[in-house]
Amino acid sequence: MKECLVTHVDRWIVPHLEKKVKLEYIEQLETLDFPELERQRPLILGFEYAGDLSVLARSMDLLRLAAATNSLGKVVLLSSYTVYSPKNSPYREDDAVAPCNFAGIRAAFVENVLRYLYASFELDVTILRMFNPYGPFMSSPYVVASVLEGIAARKKLRIGDLQKTRDFLYVSDLVDLVYLVLEDERKGFRVFNAGSGIPTTIDSLVETAREVTGETCEVIFDAEKIRPEHDYDYVVADTTLVNEALDWKPSVDLTRGLSLTYQWVLGRRRNGV
């Protein structure tokens, strides 16, 4: 595996990618010198670290120039389920892209640019729409991190709606999927959901975390945690397409994933971090 360039990807995921692939990480693509983009070096791209769309726009301009001059090889976009319009059944890759929050708008913007670059320059693109990845190195305000950190600190857990349903994917399964995409020699434009396909309510998440940690914790309803713009009622991936296309299925269930993540949380606390 050649070295990958990784940019605009949530920083906590990077150490996990490093376990599987050799990489160079830069926070924002626009800071990179153009000659550093090489056709032989795959690009793993995200949509984070953009306070406004102008940051992403400058990065996309650079990608367009690289694609037009045949200086760009395989691109893997770590996108998000937030590109989808809310509904109450599992999301399929052919569901309408109609984001209702800024995170989804950023992700959809990058997806659309890559779709255009594929159509114009036959750029090799795979989009992975992530469904709530979690694991070590993640911290609050992500829900899994907030729950485990609260339990470790013996704090009361302030939760908005316990009946929200989510799809949690352990980070090593996400990295395994990225690796499969990088190794796959088939070219084109492909979109896959990256999730477990298993619906889990926030209430069930908290209960599983209690069982894993052996700790009790008090849950308090906090209306300020309910953000209508972000709070999809139901977020679960239909993973049929990626299962069939890449023979990929998650191998770490929620109990095991929470246990591994909690051990990291405890180690971080012992080290005073």
Calculate mean pLDDT across residues 154-164.
Answer: 81
Residue 223 pLDDT > 70:
no
DSSP string spanning 1-62? -PPEEEESS-GGGHHHHHTTS-EEEES-GGGS-GGG--TTS-EEE---S-SSHHHHHHHHHH
Calculate mean pLDDT across residues 51-58.
Answer: 88
197: phi > 0 → left, psi -120 to 50 → alpha, else beta; which? left
Alpha-carbon distance 137 to 133, whole Å?
A: 12
pLDDT value, residue 229: 52
Band the pLDDT of 204: cuts 50, 70, 90. very high
Share of the chain above pLDDT 70, in %: 93
Domains of the chain: residue spans and CATH: 4-270 (3.40.50.720)
pLDDT value, residue 222: 63
Cα distances (Å, whole numbers) of residue 240 to 91, 143, 148, 173, 198: 11, 26, 30, 16, 12
How many residues in total does the chain contain?
A: 273
Calculate mean pLDDT across residues 217-240.
Answer: 77
Q: What pTM did the predictor assign?
A: 0.94
175: phi > 0 → left, psi -120 to 50 → alpha, else beta; which? alpha
